[in-house]
Amino acid sequence: MTDAATGFSHRFRATELDARAALCEIIGTLQARGLVQEQIGAVEIALAEVINNIVEHAYAGTAPGDIVVDVAFREAILKLTTTDGGKPLPDGRLPEGRPADVTGAVDDLPEGGFGWFMIRTLARDISYARENDRNRLELTFDVVPAVDRH
Amino acid sequence: MTLTSTLTGTAKIVTVNSNRIDAAMAIQFKEAMREHTDGGPSRVILDLSSVDFIDSSGLGAIVAAMKQLGDGRKLDLAGLTPTVDKVFRLTRMDTVFKLFPSLDDAVTAQVG
Protein backbone atom coordinates (compact mmCIF):
# COMPACT_ATOMS: atom_id res chain seq x y z
CA MET A 1 0.00 0.00 0.00
CA THR A 2 1.26 3.42 -0.79
CA ASP A 3 1.89 5.36 2.33
CA ALA A 4 0.18 8.60 1.47
CA ALA A 5 1.53 10.31 4.56
CA THR A 6 5.10 10.09 3.31
CA GLY A 7 4.50 11.12 -0.25
CA PHE A 8 4.72 14.71 -1.40
CA SER A 9 4.46 16.79 -4.49
CA HIS A 10 6.21 19.87 -5.78
CA ARG A 11 5.21 22.15 -8.64
CA PHE A 12 7.47 24.86 -10.04
CA ARG A 13 8.26 26.87 -13.13
CA ALA A 14 10.69 25.39 -15.65
CA THR A 15 13.56 27.84 -15.17
CA GLU A 16 17.09 27.03 -14.05
CA LEU A 17 16.74 28.95 -10.81
CA ASP A 18 13.30 27.59 -9.93
CA ALA A 19 14.61 24.11 -10.77
CA ARG A 20 17.51 24.57 -8.38
CA ALA A 21 15.24 25.75 -5.57
CA ALA A 22 12.82 22.87 -6.13
CA LEU A 23 15.59 20.28 -6.24
CA CYS A 24 17.07 21.60 -2.99
CA GLU A 25 13.67 21.47 -1.32
CA ILE A 26 12.89 17.94 -2.51
CA ILE A 27 16.32 16.65 -1.51
CA GLY A 28 16.07 18.43 1.84
CA THR A 29 12.76 16.69 2.49
CA LEU A 30 14.25 13.30 1.60
CA GLN A 31 17.16 13.97 3.96
CA ALA A 32 14.75 14.90 6.72
CA ARG A 33 12.95 11.61 6.13
CA GLY A 34 16.12 9.67 6.82
CA LEU A 35 17.30 8.58 3.40
CA VAL A 36 20.99 7.71 3.63
CA GLN A 37 23.40 10.15 2.06
CA GLU A 38 24.66 7.89 -0.69
CA GLN A 39 21.13 7.30 -1.92
CA ILE A 40 20.33 10.97 -1.61
CA GLY A 41 23.29 11.69 -3.89
CA ALA A 42 22.08 9.25 -6.54
CA VAL A 43 18.54 10.61 -6.42
CA GLU A 44 19.74 14.21 -6.57
CA ILE A 45 22.00 13.56 -9.58
CA ALA A 46 19.29 11.71 -11.53
CA LEU A 47 16.46 14.08 -10.67
CA ALA A 48 18.60 17.11 -11.51
CA GLU A 49 19.32 15.67 -14.97
CA VAL A 50 15.65 14.90 -15.61
CA ILE A 51 14.61 18.40 -14.58
CA ASN A 52 17.45 20.04 -16.55
CA ASN A 53 16.34 18.15 -19.65
CA ILE A 54 12.79 19.45 -19.25
CA VAL A 55 14.01 23.04 -18.74
CA GLU A 56 16.53 22.94 -21.61
CA HIS A 57 14.80 20.69 -24.15
CA ALA A 58 11.09 20.09 -23.48
CA TYR A 59 10.45 23.80 -23.01
CA ALA A 60 13.13 24.96 -25.48
CA GLY A 61 11.94 27.88 -27.55
CA THR A 62 8.74 28.34 -25.57
CA ALA A 63 7.77 30.17 -22.43
CA PRO A 64 8.73 28.02 -19.46
CA GLY A 65 5.72 26.04 -18.29
CA ASP A 66 5.36 23.99 -15.17
CA ILE A 67 7.10 20.90 -13.86
CA VAL A 68 5.50 18.69 -11.24
CA VAL A 69 7.56 16.23 -9.22
CA ASP A 70 5.63 13.63 -7.23
CA VAL A 71 7.56 11.69 -4.63
CA ALA A 72 6.15 8.45 -3.26
CA PHE A 73 7.56 5.76 -1.00
CA ARG A 74 6.41 2.21 -1.24
CA GLU A 75 8.14 -0.34 0.91
CA ALA A 76 11.83 -0.11 -0.03
CA ILE A 77 11.21 1.81 -3.24
CA LEU A 78 11.27 5.51 -3.85
CA LYS A 79 9.30 6.58 -6.89
CA LEU A 80 9.74 9.98 -8.51
CA THR A 81 7.29 11.02 -11.17
CA THR A 82 7.86 14.17 -13.18
CA THR A 83 5.30 15.64 -15.53
CA ASP A 84 5.62 18.65 -17.80
CA GLY A 85 3.73 20.29 -20.64
CA GLY A 86 6.72 20.68 -22.94
CA LYS A 87 7.59 18.97 -26.19
CA PRO A 88 7.70 15.17 -26.21
CA LEU A 89 11.02 13.38 -26.09
CA PRO A 90 12.59 12.89 -29.54
CA ASP A 91 10.88 9.96 -31.32
CA GLY A 92 8.56 9.72 -28.33
CA ARG A 93 10.91 7.55 -26.37
CA LEU A 94 13.65 7.58 -23.80
CA PRO A 95 17.11 8.33 -25.19
CA GLU A 96 19.51 5.43 -25.19
CA GLY A 97 21.89 7.24 -22.88
CA ARG A 98 25.18 5.83 -24.01
CA PRO A 99 28.23 6.83 -21.99
CA ALA A 100 30.10 9.83 -23.36
CA ASP A 101 33.48 9.07 -24.93
CA VAL A 102 36.16 10.51 -22.70
CA THR A 103 39.12 8.73 -24.26
CA GLY A 104 40.07 11.36 -26.84
CA ALA A 105 42.28 14.42 -26.71
CA VAL A 106 41.43 17.19 -24.26
CA ASP A 107 40.04 19.43 -26.99
CA ASP A 108 37.70 16.64 -28.09
CA LEU A 109 36.29 15.88 -24.65
CA PRO A 110 32.51 16.13 -24.41
CA GLU A 111 31.02 19.02 -22.43
CA GLY A 112 27.56 17.49 -22.36
CA GLY A 113 25.61 14.37 -23.18
CA PHE A 114 26.16 12.84 -19.75
CA GLY A 115 22.63 13.20 -18.46
CA TRP A 116 20.68 10.20 -19.70
CA PHE A 117 23.56 7.85 -19.06
CA MET A 118 23.66 8.95 -15.44
CA ILE A 119 19.88 8.75 -15.08
CA ARG A 120 19.83 5.22 -16.49
CA THR A 121 22.76 4.13 -14.37
CA LEU A 122 21.43 5.52 -11.10
CA ALA A 123 17.73 4.68 -11.33
CA ARG A 124 16.48 1.15 -10.82
CA ASP A 125 13.74 1.60 -13.40
CA ILE A 126 12.72 4.37 -15.73
CA SER A 127 9.64 4.74 -17.91
CA TYR A 128 8.22 7.43 -20.14
CA ALA A 129 4.74 8.14 -21.42
CA ARG A 130 3.04 10.98 -23.24
CA GLU A 131 -0.39 11.55 -21.73
CA ASN A 132 -2.81 14.41 -22.33
CA ASP A 133 -0.12 16.51 -24.02
CA ARG A 134 2.18 16.09 -21.06
CA ASN A 135 5.39 14.17 -20.59
CA ARG A 136 5.36 11.73 -17.72
CA LEU A 137 8.61 10.21 -16.53
CA GLU A 138 8.83 7.71 -13.71
CA LEU A 139 12.06 6.88 -11.92
CA THR A 140 12.33 4.34 -9.16
CA PHE A 141 15.17 3.83 -6.71
CA ASP A 142 15.81 1.13 -4.17
CA VAL A 143 16.08 2.69 -0.75
CA VAL A 144 17.69 0.94 2.17
CA PRO A 145 17.02 1.12 5.04
CA ALA A 146 13.31 1.74 4.92
CA VAL A 147 12.49 5.39 5.23
CA ASP A 148 11.34 6.50 8.64
CA ARG A 149 7.57 6.86 8.49
CA HIS A 150 5.80 9.10 10.92
CA MET B 1 32.24 36.19 -6.19
CA THR B 2 31.93 32.50 -6.81
CA LEU B 3 35.64 31.85 -7.16
CA THR B 4 38.74 33.03 -5.34
CA SER B 5 42.29 32.18 -6.26
CA THR B 6 45.74 32.17 -4.75
CA LEU B 7 49.15 31.61 -6.20
CA THR B 8 51.61 29.11 -4.78
CA GLY B 9 55.14 28.61 -6.08
CA THR B 10 54.12 26.42 -8.96
CA ALA B 11 50.34 26.39 -9.11
CA LYS B 12 47.30 28.56 -9.16
CA ILE B 13 44.71 27.41 -6.63
CA VAL B 14 41.16 28.30 -7.53
CA THR B 15 38.58 27.78 -4.80
CA VAL B 16 34.87 27.42 -5.54
CA ASN B 17 32.89 29.32 -2.91
CA SER B 18 29.56 27.84 -3.76
CA ASN B 19 27.91 24.63 -2.66
CA ARG B 20 26.78 23.71 -6.16
CA ILE B 21 27.92 23.95 -9.77
CA ASP B 22 24.69 23.42 -11.65
CA ALA B 23 22.97 24.48 -14.85
CA ALA B 24 22.02 27.83 -13.33
CA MET B 25 25.65 28.77 -12.74
CA ALA B 26 27.64 26.77 -15.29
CA ILE B 27 28.23 29.67 -17.67
CA GLN B 28 29.17 32.03 -14.87
CA PHE B 29 31.56 29.43 -13.51
CA LYS B 30 33.25 28.96 -16.87
CA GLU B 31 33.70 32.71 -17.34
CA ALA B 32 35.02 33.16 -13.81
CA MET B 33 37.47 30.32 -14.40
CA ARG B 34 38.70 32.10 -17.50
CA GLU B 35 39.35 35.27 -15.52
CA HIS B 36 41.15 33.45 -12.72
CA THR B 37 43.30 31.25 -14.97
CA ASP B 38 44.18 33.70 -17.73
CA GLY B 39 47.97 33.43 -17.72
CA GLY B 40 49.86 32.18 -14.68
CA PRO B 41 51.34 28.81 -13.80
CA SER B 42 50.79 25.79 -16.00
CA ARG B 43 49.18 23.90 -13.16
CA VAL B 44 45.77 24.92 -11.85
CA ILE B 45 44.22 23.21 -8.83
CA LEU B 46 40.48 23.54 -8.49
CA ASP B 47 39.42 23.21 -4.87
CA LEU B 48 35.94 21.68 -4.85
CA SER B 49 35.71 20.99 -1.12
CA SER B 50 32.78 23.38 -0.64
CA VAL B 51 30.81 21.91 -3.52
CA ASP B 52 28.18 19.40 -2.43
CA PHE B 53 26.54 18.94 -5.80
CA ILE B 54 27.38 19.11 -9.46
CA ASP B 55 25.22 18.26 -12.47
CA SER B 56 26.15 17.49 -16.07
CA SER B 57 26.17 21.20 -16.94
CA GLY B 58 28.61 21.86 -14.12
CA LEU B 59 30.74 18.93 -15.21
CA GLY B 60 30.73 20.30 -18.75
CA ALA B 61 31.82 23.68 -17.42
CA ILE B 62 34.80 22.11 -15.65
CA VAL B 63 35.77 20.31 -18.86
CA ALA B 64 35.44 23.62 -20.73
CA ALA B 65 37.59 25.30 -18.08
CA MET B 66 40.32 22.76 -18.69
CA LYS B 67 40.15 23.26 -22.46
CA GLN B 68 40.40 27.02 -22.18
CA LEU B 69 43.63 26.71 -20.15
CA GLY B 70 45.36 25.91 -23.41
CA ASP B 71 48.27 23.73 -24.40
CA GLY B 72 50.70 22.51 -21.80
CA ARG B 73 48.55 23.50 -18.85
CA LYS B 74 46.64 21.16 -16.61
CA LEU B 75 43.66 21.28 -14.30
CA ASP B 76 43.77 19.10 -11.19
CA LEU B 77 40.77 18.68 -8.91
CA ALA B 78 40.89 18.56 -5.13
CA GLY B 79 38.49 17.88 -2.28
CA LEU B 80 35.68 16.13 -4.11
CA THR B 81 32.71 15.53 -1.83
CA PRO B 82 30.82 12.21 -2.21
CA THR B 83 28.16 13.29 -4.71
CA VAL B 84 30.63 15.24 -6.83
CA ASP B 85 32.98 12.26 -6.79
CA LYS B 86 30.10 10.03 -7.90
CA VAL B 87 29.43 12.21 -10.96
CA PHE B 88 33.10 12.11 -11.99
CA ARG B 89 33.26 8.33 -11.64
CA LEU B 90 29.94 7.65 -13.36
CA THR B 91 31.00 9.65 -16.40
CA ARG B 92 34.57 8.29 -16.33
CA MET B 93 35.83 11.85 -16.00
CA ASP B 94 37.89 10.51 -13.11
CA THR B 95 40.15 9.11 -15.83
CA VAL B 96 40.57 12.53 -17.44
CA PHE B 97 41.36 14.65 -14.39
CA LYS B 98 43.77 13.95 -11.60
CA LEU B 99 41.68 13.85 -8.43
CA PHE B 100 43.11 14.56 -4.98
CA PRO B 101 41.23 13.86 -1.74
CA SER B 102 42.07 17.29 -0.36
CA LEU B 103 43.68 20.55 -1.36
CA ASP B 104 46.64 19.71 0.91
CA ASP B 105 47.14 16.45 -0.98
CA ALA B 106 47.10 18.29 -4.28
CA VAL B 107 49.53 20.97 -3.14
CA THR B 108 51.88 18.44 -1.56
CA ALA B 109 51.87 16.35 -4.73
CA GLN B 110 53.37 19.20 -6.71
CA VAL B 111 56.41 19.27 -4.41
CA GLY B 112 57.17 15.57 -4.70
Contact B42, B66 (CB under 8 A): no
Residue A121 within a domain: yes
| A111 contacts in chain B (CB < 8 Å) | 60-61, 63-64
Residue B111 has pLDDT above 60, yes or no: no
How many angstroms separate the CA atoms of B38 and B12, rounded? 10
**Residue in A37, A102, A122 to test binding to B, most B beta-carbons within 10 Å:** A102
| B64 contacts in chain A (CB < 8 Å) | 111
Mean pLDDT value across residues A112-128: 97
Burial of B82 (0-12, 13-18, 19+ CB in 10 A): exposed
Which pLDDT tens digit goes with each residue over A17-72?
Answer: 999 999 999 999 999 988 888 899 999 999 999 999 999 999 999 999 999 999 99
Residue A116 within a domain: yes
| B53 contacts in chain A (CB < 8 Å) | 44-45, 48
- Minimum distance, in Å, between the CA of residue A133 and any CA atom of chain B: 26
Residue A123 within a domain: yes
| A110 contacts in chain B (CB < 8 Å) | 60, 63
Residue A125 within a domain: yes
How many angstroms separate the CA atoms of B43 and B37, rounded? 10
Phi, psi of B29 (to 5 degrees): -60, -45
**Residue in A111, A119, A120, A122 to test binding to B, most B beta-carbons within 10 Å:** A111
How many domains, in total, are found in chain A? 1
* Cross-chain residue pair A109–B63, CB shorter than 8 Å: yes
Query: What percent of chain B shows pLDDT beyond 70?
Result: 96
Residue A146 has pLDDT above 80, yes or no: no
| A121 contacts in chain B (CB < 8 Å) | 90
Tell me the pLDDT band of A2, cut-offs 50, 70 and 90: very low
**pLDDT recorded at residue A82:** 98
**pLDDT recorded at residue A108:** 94
- Minimum distance, in Å, between the CA of residue B5 and any CA atom of chain A: 23
Q: Is A106 touching B (CB cutoff 8 A)? A: yes
**pLDDT recorded at residue B107:** 94
Strand runs labelled E in A7-150? 8-13, 66-74, 77-84, 125-131, 134-142
**pLDDT recorded at residue B1:** 56
**pLDDT recorded at residue A148:** 54
Sign of the Cα torsion A65, A20, A11, A74 reads positive
Mean pLDDT of chain B: 95
Residue A19 within a domain: yes
Question: A105 lies in which domain range?
Answer: 4-142
How many angstroms separate the CA atoms of A17 and A141, rounded? 26
Mean pLDDT value across residues A139-146: 82
**pLDDT recorded at residue A5:** 54
Domain at A87, CATH number: 3.30.565.10
Residue A148 within a domain: no
Which pLDDT tens digit goes with each residue over A77-109?
Answer: 999 999 999 999 999 999 999 999 999 999 999
Give the number of C-alpha atoms closer than 13 A to the C-alpha of residue A92, restricted to the C-beta side: 4
Q: Is A108 touching B (CB cutoff 8 A)? A: no
Beta-bridge partner residues of B12: B7, B44
Mean pLDDT value across residues B15-30: 96
User: Domains plus CATH for chain B?
Assistant: 3-111 (3.30.750.24)
Which pLDDT tens digit goes with each residue over B54-107?
Answer: 999 999 999 999 999 998 999 999 999 999 999 999 999 999 999 999 999 999
Mean pLDDT value across residues B27-53: 96
**pLDDT recorded at residue A37:** 86
Complex ipTM value:
0.93
Residue A149 within a domain: no
Residue whose C-alpha is closest to residue A82's, from A66, A92, A101, A68: A68
**pLDDT recorded at residue A4:** 47
Size of interface A-B (CB pairs under 8 A): 77
Higher per-residue pLDDT: A27 or A146: A27
Residue A22 within a domain: yes
